[in-house]
Amino acid sequence: MAAGTGYAVLALLLTLLRAAPERAALLARLRTMGLTRAQGRRLLILESLPQALLAAAGGTVTAWSAIRLLSPGIDLTTIAVSTASSPAGRAALRTDPVSLLLPALAVVALTVGIAAAQAWWTGRRGSVRELRAGDAR
């Protein structure tokens, strides 16, 4: 789970670095037309939400369906009960809503946090530097 989280953070940061100059230039142009810093922050957050929500929903559905499909073939009794005698019941693999929703909510929160950080970082620059952001000259 830690490796998956690390890869997700790395992918979001690399996406941020790749698209930062274009977004900064777009925000600078929109600010010259009257967009406030708060509106720019909301714009960046709302721009990143659809893909984050789809990724969270897709991951949740994939995890739920994998557990439902694998549970009949996996018997956790030998792992859960370490006695040599026959246990009274069977330890079955089942879905847990908290363990499915927590990573999905973390992905959405991480995406919103990175978009807000990018909006804050872009807002710290001067207007001339913002207008030159992404400029090849």
How far, rounded to the nearest angstrom, does the alpha carbon of residue 75 sit from its chain's CA centroid?
32
Domain presence at residue 102: yes
Q: pLDDT per residue over 84-133, tens digit each?
A: 555 566 666 778 889 889 988 988 998 888 888 887 877 776 555 556 65
122 contacts 30 by C-beta, under 8 angstroms: no
Q: Which two tokens stand for residue 24?
A: 């900064």
Number of domains comprising the chain = 1
Q: Is residue 14 part of a domain?
A: no
Tell me, yes or no, whether 24 lies in a domain: no
Is residue 51 in some structural domain?
A: yes
Token reading at 130 = 């913002």
How far, in Å, CA of 16 to CA of 8, rounded? 12
State pLDDT tens for residues 26-56: 888 888 888 888 888 888 888 888 988 998 8
DSSP string covering 55-92? HHHHHHHHHHHHHHHHGGG---HHHH---SSPPSS---
